[in-house]
Amino acid sequence: MPTSFTVVPVEAQGEERQRDGQQREEEDEGDERDRGTGDGIARESSPFINCAELGRGSMYEGKNMALFEEEMDSNPMVSSLLNKLANYTNLTQGVVEHEADEDSKRKEVKGPRMGTFIGVYLPCLQNILGVILFLRLTWIVGTAGVLESFIIVFMCCACTMLTAISMSAIATNGVVPAGGSYYMISRSLGPEFGGAVGLCFYLGTTFAGAMYILGTIEILLTYISPSAAIFKVADAGEETEAMLNNMRVYGTCIVILMAIVVFVGVKYVNKLALVFLACVILSIIAIYAGVIKTAFDPPDFPICLLGNRTLSKRSFDVCAKFTESNNETKTTPLWLLFCDSSLLNATCDDYFSLNNVTEIQGIPGIMSGVLTDNLWSAYSEKGSIVEKKDQPSVAGSEESKMSGLPYVFTDIMTYFTMLVGIYFPSVTGIMAGSNRSGDLKDAQKSIPTGTILAISTTSFIYLSCIVLFGACIEGVILRDKFGEAVNGNLVVGTLAWPSPWVIVIGSFFSTCGAGLQSLTGAPRLLQAIARDGIVPFIQIFGHGKANGEPTWALLLTVGICEIGILIASLDSVAPILSMFFLMCYMFVNLACAVQTLLRTPNWRPRFKYYHWTLSFVGMSLCLALMFICSWYYALIAMLIAGCIYKYIEYRGAEKEWGDGIRGLSLNAARYALLRVEDGPPHTKNWRPQLLVLLNLDNEQLVKHPRLLSFTSQLKAGKGLTIVGSVLQGIYLDKCTETHKAEENVKALMGVEKTKGFCQIVVSPNFRDGISYLIQSAGLGGMKHNTVLMAWPQSWKQAENRFSWKNFVDTVRETTSAQQALLVAKNIDLFPTNQERFTEGNIDVWWIVHDGGMLMLLPFLLRQHKVWRKCKMRIFTVAQMDDNSIQMKKDLQMFLYHLRLNAQVEVVEMFENDISAFTYEKTLMMEQRSQMLKQMQLSKNEREREAQLIHDKNTASRSAPAVEASVAAAVPEKVQMTWTKEKFVAEKHKNKDSNVSGFKDIFNMKPNQSNVRRMHTAVKLNGVVLNKSQHAQLVLLNMPGPPKNRKGDENYMEFLEVLTEGLDRVLLVRGSGREVITIYS
């Protein structure tokens, strides 16, 4: 386990205790002022905490709770809390979020709430059973066969059942406001996933409305009133195109009509829902009744076959080539369709001449054994003729298959995966119960029970219908999508009892009702997403009428629905909405699996019959079905969701919903931190992990923003960056300033694109705060190894007399911690991220070996656009005894092995006499230091004497009896009673000592060690100026501070002289380990 220790100076602790005492006194005096914030800790925003609605006067009644008076200001009494919890209601669909909307008006609780049967079971039945059952299920059974159809239905029903189990767990994990699946996914997986999947679910619901409307028109124009078609069939073979155009015209009219109904009176749509549901249930009962009737009295629906080919009865009524009447043979209308005249010797179609016309029963009944013929699939190409497999026939010429003849043709190519895409919408609608959670009496009990019962019921209906259809209906009728072989009747209607019209009328009203429900629900879903504010460009759709009806969202829904209607084919629209629903279900399963695996404390569903493996299987099945239905539609749907996800991540409002993805990230981060060794990485993996030390002004703004610009240029988003700063004081006093400083630093980090963490430390003094950061910043193996700071420009000024001391101590701290140090001098002259150097050099002055830091830093900088066009030059210094030519060759070879491109130059700097300038500069430096010490000493003495006098006076007032003993403890030089003689003597004494001290300063000689160091600084500065004065950046080895602390101020002077005259300088001090290697 990673551990972290921080060394705290004892003096600082003492000062803290003293200030804590003072702080307590101030708190007692300002109790009324601070009473509003309690203990000063920011409280979590909650519907039940910080509630202004609770009367404060009632809190203090009685004395038995006086101990908790401080807490009662911000936290309610339990009695009040329980009252609020008992009266807590779900919010209306489309609110921003239930936490933020707590202070607004609550929706009044309506009288009777709905139970499981009315509120969940019946709505789910109505949404699941629909258009596909009546219009396409018989065709799917005939095309795929009973066995493969059973597999299709079982896969889809298993997918929805597993999703319902996951949804039940999420829905029973606390109060779910109206908003259904979107609310559950967004609060479980975060705003990015929630917004992406919520919009996909909205698109799926909208396209479902288009599918139901297309189904309504198909029933109307094909089975109820074919004469109502606007576009008539002029030539043979144009039936499909005419039908699509009729769909588009009628669909547009109906969607406009439905939109007006939804806009004017949603309450009427809800009231008619039960009527539509009754139509569905009566239709299904009629199907089962018809199946039972076929066992003893099959209905009479004859089918006409030519050879083994099915004939469409729309153009003739007698299934024969000719008839006998009064011993006279007459040709039938069927003869005229295949021959050029009504004469018996007319020229006829080859296939018509070679094969007989036969008539068989379309519905032989459940006892006929037709099930064995319908077990296997009969997939076909587009435009092929529906044929009976075991019927004898004689093959004719190819011309006999022309489309102008009255055969029953297939309108699309069929295959297994395509049928899955068409069928899946028939099992959607499992969210109907959760979408109504705001109207349920006990949502946590009703949603799981009602949804799972509804799925079980509908799964039984679908699976039984597949077997019964295959056992009762002839295969060629099952494959006849539009019932052309049975006089244009609805195929499933031919099976129903007492009349086919029961199914036709019932399916018509059920599809109308489903379309209205989709146009009612989809705008509210979009309104809920828009009001959450996570997708900025759709926020306009959160507005509506005064009563909350989503007007703008309804307009957009109608527009998108019109796109589906213009496609005009139910078989083409169904796979589109399958993708969106499958994606929604997949993320519901993912949300449940993530929450279960994370085991977050708040994950406590009342529904206990779930497991993460079931959710994972459901998620995998949803993903598999997406690609089974249509791989290109699946990719498009995932691309749309991915784009929405990235958009919300980039531009959307940040929300903290306690979602599972954040918990997953925290778990992954913890796992990775435990895996990372708590020690130095291998040289090949070493990169500067920066701790950036910033200075803040009185307004808590960053003094040198360019330091963060340089950080982002150096890091380019890679590795660890910790941006730290120190506020001087006590944390309880500086809490507000700390938050403000953190916000300012994070804002600047965002502007400068510095990816990292911010850490603000409050310390009694600046020096200790820097020490805390260097010691404790980071976590485990993710700790910084390099400190970046700005050069203290004002270190010579009297008001900043401690800045150089703090700087030198920081240098020593980093050396002790074995961390590298980067000091940027003239940081305000460094480039911003928007600047680009088109030419220039980055000059490296390699004086001493520091582990390769000087080589690595220019390479990293040149990865950024600012420095990319700068060339790297490396200078090294040759002494008197060095072979400069050989040094250059060796350095070039070294850079070659390091794979670095740089110009190399060896500068010769020979020994020579110390100049008078150097001697004079050293002398002035030491005189200045000595003078500052004496001035500081005299000031400290004056402060000490004043403090002693203050202490003495305080003691005299508090304890007069001990005045003699206290006076004995005071040093002799402190005079409690001043006479004129004593005052003059003390004045002359101080004057004489100051004069003698200044005489010593002007008579002193410089230290020889300091002279040599100044000589090196002056000489090296001259060489650097000569070569690199116009370089864009100069990197220099930073000499270490003296071991003797008395020369710290001289050390600052040496560094100042060393870098004098250079615009941008980066002083580099290595960490004492190799950071670059020649090995792979």
Quick: pLDDT tens for 66-91: 565 555 565 665 655 566 555 544 43
Please tell me the predicted confidence (pLDDT) of residue 327.
78
Of residues 5 and 662, the one with the higher pLDDT is 662
- Reported as a single tens digit per residue, the pLDDT across 628-686 is 998 999 999 899 888 888 888 777 656 666 666 677 777 777 777 777 766 666 776 67
Q: 56 or 952: whose pLDDT is higher?
A: 952
Distance CA 251, CA 218 (A): 10
How many Cβ atoms from other residues are within 10 Å of residue 820's Cβ?
26
Q: Is the pLDDT of residue 864 over 70?
A: yes
Mean pLDDT highest for which of 174-183, 283-292, 881-890, 970-979?
283-292
Q: Does residue 395 or residue 27 have the better pLDDT?
A: 395
How long a stretch of residues is the chain? 1080
Give the residue carrying structure tokens 């805390």: 772
Q: Residue 157's pLDDT band (boundaries 50, 70, 90)? A: very high
Range with the lowest mean pLDDT among 105-114, 361-370, 839-848, 857-866?
105-114
Residue 326's pLDDT is what? 77
Q: Is the pLDDT of residue 37 over 60?
A: no
Most confident residue range from 250-264, 266-280, 804-818, 910-924: 250-264
Q: Write out pLDDT tens, residues 1033-1044.
A: 999 888 888 777
Q: What is the pLDDT of residue 155?
A: 95
Q: How far is CA 852 from CA 515, 687, 806, 880, 903, in A?
A: 71, 11, 27, 25, 16
List b or e across 987-1008, with b for residues whose CB sees 16 or more CB atoms inside 10 angstroms. eeeeeeeeeebeeeeeeeebbe
pLDDT at 761: 93
pLDDT of residue 95: 35
pLDDT, tens digit, for every residue of 693-720?
Answer: 999 988 889 999 999 999 999 876 577 8
Tokens representing 604?
A: 């406590």
Distance CA 228, CA 223 (A): 11
Say yes or no to pLDDT of 144 above 90: yes
Q: What distances in angstroms separate CA 562 from CA 371, 519, 559, 568, one per listed residue? A: 41, 12, 5, 10
Helices (H) and strands (E) in the chain, counts: 36, 15
Q: Residue 71: its pLDDT value, please?
A: 56
1064, 826 Cβ separation under 8 angstroms: yes
- Whether 123 has a pLDDT exceeding 90, the answer reads no
What's phi and psi for 339, nearest 5 deg? -115, 165
Q: Enter the tokens of residue 653.
A: 């409002």
Phi, psi (rounded to 5 degrees) for 986: -65, -35
- What is the pLDDT confidence band of residue 850, given thresholds at 50, 70 and 90? confident
User: Residue 389's pLDDT band (boundaries 50, 70, 90)?
Assistant: confident
Instruction: Report percent pLDDT > 70 for the chain.
Output: 75
Any idea what DSSP says for residue 387?
A: B
pTM to 2 decimals?
A: 0.70
Q: How much of the chain is in helix, strand and coil states, percent to nearest 5?
A: 60, 10, 35
Residue 36, pLDDT score: 42
Q: Nearest to residue 422, comparing CAs of 413, 430, 431? A: 413
- Report the C-alpha gap between 591 and 448 in whole angstroms: 16
Q: What is the pLDDT of residue 805?
A: 82
> What are the pLDDT digits (tens) for 611-629?
999 999 999 999 999 999 9
Buried b / exposed e across 554-584, counting CB within 10 Å, b at 16+?
Answer: bebbbebbbebbebbbbbbbbbbbbbbbbbb
Give me the pLDDT at residue 82, please: 61
Is 60 exceeded by the pLDDT of residue 355? yes
The whole-angstrom separation of Cα 262 and Cα 268 is: 9
For residue 758, name the pLDDT band (cuts at 50, 70, 90).
very high
Highest mean pLDDT among 94-108, 115-129, 552-566: 552-566
Which residue is it, tokens 């205790």?
Answer: 17
Neighbours of 868 (CB within 10 A): 12
Lowest mean pLDDT among 56-60, 299-303, 747-751: 56-60
Sheet arrangement for strand 302-306: 309-310, 302-306, 357-361
Is the bond leading into 498 cis (omega within 30 degrees of zero)?
Answer: yes
Region 402-422: what's the mean pLDDT?
87
Average pLDDT, the chain: 79
The pLDDT of residue 164 is 94
With 0-12 / 13-18 / 19 or more C-beta atoms within 10 angstroms meaning exposed / middle / buried, residue 465 is buried
Of 201-210, 432-441, 896-905, minimum mean pLDDT range: 432-441
Written as six digits, the tokens of 249 are 């015209």
- The strand ranges marked E within 729-854 are 757-763, 786-790, 820-825, 841-846
Asked if the model's pLDDT at residue 47 lies above 50, the reply is no
Please state, in angstroms and rounded to a whole number, the distance separating the CA atoms of residues 738 and 1050: 35
* Percentage of the chain exceeding pLDDT 90: 26
What are 790's two structure tokens?
């700005």
Look at residue 156 in the predicted model and tell me its pLDDT.
95
pLDDT at position 902 over 60: yes
Question: Parallel, antiparallel, or unpaired for β 721-728 and 757-763?
Answer: parallel
pLDDT at residue 182, as a whole number: 76
Burial tier of 851 (Cβ tally within 10 Å: 0-12, 13-18, 19+): middle
d(CA 382, CA 943): 103
Query: Tokens 């980090």 identify what position?
Result: 749
What confidence category does residue 579 fall into, taking pLDDT thresholds of 50, 70 and 90? very high
Q: What is the pLDDT of residue 74?
A: 58
Cβ neighbors of 394 (< 8 A, separation 6 or more) are 307, 351, 354, 355
Is the pLDDT at 745 greater than 60, yes or no? yes
Instruction: Check whether 870 has a pLDDT greater than 60.
Output: yes
Say what the pLDDT of residue 450 is. 92
Task: Give the confidence band of 236 by pLDDT, cuts at 50, 70, 90.
Answer: low
pLDDT band of 912, cuts 50, 70, 90: low
Residue 415's pLDDT is what? 93
pLDDT band at 433 (very low <50, low <70, confident <90, very high): confident
Which of 1005, 711, 1028 has the alpha carbon at shortest distance from 846?
1028
* Type of residue found at 1017: A
Q: Distance between terminal CA atoms of the chain?
A: 31
Lowest-pLDDT range of 91-100, 292-301, 632-641, 915-924: 91-100
- Give the range with max mean pLDDT: 62-76, 315-329, 746-760: 746-760
What does the pLDDT read at residue 722?
Answer: 93
| pLDDT score for 884 | 79
Structure tokens at 632: 């290109």
Residue 842 has pLDDT above 50, yes or no: yes
Which carries the bigger pLDDT value, residue 161 or residue 1056? 161
Sign of CA dihedral 257, 259, 265, 266: positive
Minimum mean pLDDT range among 217-231, 640-654, 765-779:
640-654
pLDDT at 41 (0 to 100): 40
